[in-house]
A and B are shown apart, each in its own frame.
Chain A
Amino acid sequence: MEYVIIAIVVVVVAAAGFLGAGVARTRRAKMARLPPSSTTGETATLPNPTETVAPSIDSPTQALPIPAPDVEAPDLEAPALEMPEPTANRLIRLRARLARSQSTLGKGLLAVLGRDRLDERAWEDIEDTLLQADVGVASAGEIVQRLRERTRVLGTRTPGDLRALLSEELVAAIGADTDRTLHTFPHADAPAVVLVVGVNGTGKTTTCGKLARVLIADGHSVVLGAADTFRAAAADQLQTWGAKVGARTVRGAAGADPASVAFEAVRMGTEDHVDVVLVDTAGRLHTKTGLMDELGKIKRVVQRQGPVDETLLVLDATTGQNGLTQARVFAEVVDCTGIVLTKLDGTAKGGIVFAVQRELGVPVKLVGLGEGADDLAPFEPKAFVDALLG
C-alpha cells in the first residue's frame, strides 16, 4: 500500500505544478474575458432548473431520481394559529438576554480600565478580552492599536471615558452606519425571495421558522421552501414552524433536488401572490465543493424567476476563527447580503462578526437569542458591543 500512497502524492504534486504554472496566465486571460459587470455574464448562462449535477462523493443522494416536489398545504383551519408578537418590543428582551450572558469577562475589563496607569500589561488585558470574545488576533490587534492612539491623542484617563472610547471603536469596527434592513418587500409581480444558508447545526431551519413568524407578525404573507432535502426530518421541522403561523410549506421527497424544491416554492409564492418566500437550505460545510456547487445551483435556479433579495448566512455565535473562512466561501458562492448571528443567548459573544465585517463587509442583520419562537431580533451594534464588554 505504501507505494500507492507515494504514487498518489506524486500525482498530487505533479498536478499542482501542472496547474500552478498555468494559473497566472489563465487568471489574466480570465479577467480580460470577463465583461465589466459579472452579474450579467452569469444570468446569460443560467441552467435549466431540472439540470442534474453529476453525483459527487459529498452528496450521494443527488443521484436519486428527482420527483416533482409535492406541495403540502397546511391545514389552514387549524384550531389556533398563533399570532406572534410584533417585532417592536423585542429589543428590550434582547437586552435582558444579552445581560444574562455577561460573564467575568466584562468585569475583568472594567478592572483593567480602572487602573491608575495604562501600562503594557493593561493593553494586553484589553486585547485578551477581545480575543476571548472570538474577535480574532488580527481584528483585536487592530482595534487595540486604534484605541491606544486615540487615548494618547485625547489624553483619556478615566475608566469611564476609556470604556466609552472602546465601545465607540468596536461599534465603528462593526459598522455603525451599515444598512441592516431586511429587504423583504415584494416586487410588483413577484414575492421577495430570502435564501438562508450556512454550515451544519447553526440554526438555519430555526431561523427560517422564526423569520416567518416575524414577517407574518408584520403583516406579510409567507411561503416556506424546504430545500433541505438531505437532513432527516428537516422539512418536517420547517413545516412545524410554518403550520403554527399558517404559512404554507413547499417540500420535496427526501433526497430530491433542492434546487427544484426552491424553484417550486418561488413559483408557488408568485402564483399565490404572497409577499415573501423563505427558502431553507441544507447545512453544508464550506469545504465540500460538491455541496457548495449545489448551493450555487439553488440560487441560480431561483434567480430564473426573479432576483434573490436576501441571502442570509447563518453563523453560530460559538463559532471561532473558522467563521471567517465560512463567510468568505459562502459569500463567494452565493454572495451573502446579510448575516444572522444565532445562539447569542449563551455565553458565546460572537466576536467573529468583527472579522467578517472587516474583511467582507457583510453586515449582521438579525440575531437569534434563544429557542423561543419569537427570539429573533434585529441586530443593534450598540447593544451587541455593550454585551461584549459586559
Chain B
Amino acid sequence: MFDTLSERLEKAFTSLRGKGRLSDADIDATCREIRIALLEADVALPAVRQFIGAVRERAGGAEVSKALNPAQQVIKIVNEELVEILGGETRRLRLAKSPPTVIMLAGLQGSGKTTLAGKLGQWLKAQGHTPLLIAADLQRPNAVTQLQVVGQQAGVTVFAPHPGTAEGGISGPPGDPVAVARDGVAEAQRRMHDIVIVDTAGRLGVDTQMMAQAAAIRDAVDPDETLYVVDAMIGQDAVTTAEAFRDGVGFTGVVLSKLDGDARGGAALSVRFVTGTPILFASTGEQLSDFDIFHPERMASRILGMGDMLTLIEQAEASFDADEAQRMAGKLATGTAFTLEDFLEQMMALKKMGPLSNVLGMLPGMGQMKDQLAQVDDSDLDRTAAIIRSMTPGEREDPKLINGSRRARVARGSGVSVFEVNQLVDRFFEARKMMAQMAGSMGLPGARRSNRKNARKSTRGAKKGKKGKAVRGPTAARVPAGLPPGMGGMAGGGMPGQPMPDLSKLKFPKQ
C-alpha cells in the first residue's frame, strides 16, 4: 500500500504545529513529499516538476489560515491545482453541423479502443443518435469480429466490409483501413447515420509506418473528434506516447480507460499536462454501460490517494438496493432494531463492492487506519457470514437469545470455536451501539420520525451543524488523545459544500 500524500505530509509537519507561516525548508520538505506521492501515482516526471514549481510558488506566499494546519493547507493547494489542470474546461463531444459527425479512436494496443467504440456507440444511441461503428482495425486477429460482437451487444450497426486478420488470414490481400474508413463514412451518409465511430488498430508511437497510416485515415475521414484512448494504468511512458500521437495523428480529446482498477491514474494529469487536451470520458468496467463523462475532482482525489467518497457512493448505490438502504437507515437510527440478519445482508452487499480494504480506503480520513485496513481480510467476511448463517432466524432477530448451549451449537455448525461466536455476538452489540450513536449524531431521519416531512428539507442545513457534532459527539469521548488531526473538512475536498463526518475520529472497538 502506498502512503497517501496526506499521511506523508502529516508526518512531515508534526514538528511544525503552531507556526504562522511556512519556512522555505518546510516547503522544500513538502515538495519532496508531493513529488514522491505524484510519482507513485504515475504522474510523469516532467509534469511532476512543473507542477511542484507551481505549488511551491503558491505555498510560499500563502498566509497560513487559522482553520487548517500547514499540511492541510498544502494539500488544499495541491488539490486545487490538480483540479484546475485536470478540468480547466470540461467539454462535451463536438458534433458536426452537417451529419455525420466523425469520431476517430486512436491509441496503443490494448488500451481498450474496440471496447470503447461499443461503449460510445451505446451511450450515443441512448442519447438518440444513430451511430455507425467502422471496423478499421485490420491488424489484430479478429478485432473486426470483436467489434461486430460488441456492436451487436450495444445494438449499433457495424460497418465491416473487410474481415481483417481473421482465421486463415493468409487468404485474401491485406485490407486497407483507409479505404474501409472512407467507405464507412460514405455508407453512413447513405444510411443516414448521424455519428460515425472509427475504430483503428492499436499502434506504437515509434512505429512510423502505422502512425502514417493513422494520419491517412484521419485525412480520409476528416474526423470532428479524434479521441486518444489511454489506459489508466500507464506509467511514465504516458508523456512520450501522448506526444507521439499528438504529433502523428493529433487528437482533440482523451478517454481514460480501465479506471475501475486501483491505479491512481496519474496518466490523466500527464497527458493533460503535455498536450493540454481535455479528458472527455472515463471508462470504468467491462460492461458496455460502464462509461461516463470525466470528473476532474474525483480524479484529483484519486491521484492524491485521498478518499474518494463520490465513487464509493456510486459503487454503494450500484450494490445496495435503495429501498433496502432506506429501510436500514431507519433501523440504524433506532439502534436496537438492527439485527444480525440485517447485518448479514449489509455485509453481503458490501462484499459485492469489491475488496473490503479498497472500499474502506475510499472513505476520507481512513488513511491513518491504513495498518488496520491492511489487516481486514475478505475471508473474515465469509467466516462471519458462516457464523450468522448457523443461527436460527429467532437468534438472528434477537441475539440476546444466544445462551451457552446455543453458542456451542452455532460454533459446531459453522466450524469455529465457541470463543469466536462469543466474540461475534459481543462485537455485534458493540457495533450496534456505535451505529446508533453515529446515526443519532448524524441526524438520520428515522431518529426523528415524527417530523419526517421536514426531514428532507432540513437535511442539508441540519447536517452542517451536525458535522461538528459527529466529531464531538458521544463517540469522540472514546478517542484517545494525541490522535493526529484527521483530514476533516479537507478530505471531502471532492464534495464542495457537503461536509462529511470525520471518520478518522471514530475508534474501532479493540480487543
| Interfacial residues, chain A to chain B (CB-CB below 8 A) | 1-27, 29, 56-57, 60, 78-80, 100-101, 103, 128, 131-134, 136-137, 199-203, 206, 209, 230-234, 236-237, 239-241, 243-244, 254, 285-289, 316-323, 325-326, 343, 345-349, 351-352, 371
- Cα distance, A103 to B444, chains bound together (Å): 59
CB distance from A254 to the nearest CB of B (A): 8
CB distance from B450 to the nearest CB of A (A): 16
The main secondary structure of chain B at its interface with chain A is: helix
* B145–A18 CB distance below 8 A: no
* A6–B167 CB distance below 8 A: no
| Interfacial residues, chain B to chain A (CB-CB below 8 A) | 2, 36, 39-42, 44-45, 108-112, 139-143, 145-150, 153, 165-170, 204-206, 231, 233-238, 240-241, 244, 258, 260-264, 266-267, 286-287, 312-313, 316, 318-320, 322, 325-326, 328-329, 332, 343, 346-347, 350-352, 354-356, 358-360, 363, 372-373, 375-378, 380-381, 383-384, 417, 420, 423-424, 427-428, 430-432, 434-435, 438-439, 442-445, 455, 459-460, 463, 500-501, 503, 506, 508-511
Asked if A17 meets B508 with Cβ closer than 8 Å, knowing A80-B170, A200-B110, A347-B237, the reply is: yes
- Cα distance, A79 to B171, chains bound together (Å): 10
- Cα distance, A24 to B508, chains bound together (Å): 13
- When distances are taken between beta carbons in the complex, the residues of chain A under 8 Å from B148 are 232-233
* A18–B444 CB distance below 8 A: no
Asked if A3 meets B206 with Cβ closer than 8 Å, knowing A233-B145, A319-B233, A348-B237, the reply is: no
Selected contact of A4 from candidates B262, B326, B500, B511, CB within 8 Å: B326
- Cα distance, A78 to B347, chains bound together (Å): 55
- Cα distance, A107 to B44, chains bound together (Å): 19
* A322–B233 CB distance below 8 A: yes
- When distances are taken between beta carbons in the complex, the residues of chain B under 8 Å from A16 are 356, 360, 373, 376, 508
Selected contact of B459 from candidates A3, A206, A233, A319, CB within 8 Å: A3
* A321–B332 CB distance below 8 A: no
Selected contact of A18 from candidates B168, B235, B431, B439, CB within 8 Å: B431
Selected contact of A7 from candidates B424, B444, B500, CB within 8 Å: B444
- Cα distance, A232 to B154, chains bound together (Å): 12
* A318–B319 CB distance below 8 A: no
- When distances are taken between beta carbons in the complex, the residues of chain A under 8 Å from B417 are 29
* B140–A19 CB distance below 8 A: no
Selected contact of A318 from candidates B206, B231, B244, B380, CB within 8 Å: B231
CB distance from B374 to the nearest CB of A (A): 10
* A318–B445 CB distance below 8 A: no
CB distance from A315 to the nearest CB of B (A): 10
If A2-B460, A14-B431, A20-B375 are given as contacts, then 4 extra A-B residue pairs at C-beta distance below 8 Å, sorted by A number, are A10-B332, A60-B287, A199-B261, A349-B236
| CB closest residue in chain A, given B230 | A318
- Cα distance, A241 to B500, chains bound together (Å): 54
* A22–B355 CB distance below 8 A: no
* A240–B167 CB distance below 8 A: yes
- When distances are taken between beta carbons in the complex, the residues of chain B under 8 Å from A347 are 204-206, 237, 240-241, 244
- When distances are taken between beta carbons in the complex, the residues of chain A under 8 Å from B325 are 4, 7-8
Asked if A57 meets B286 with Cβ closer than 8 Å, knowing A21-B509, A199-B233, A320-B267, the reply is: no
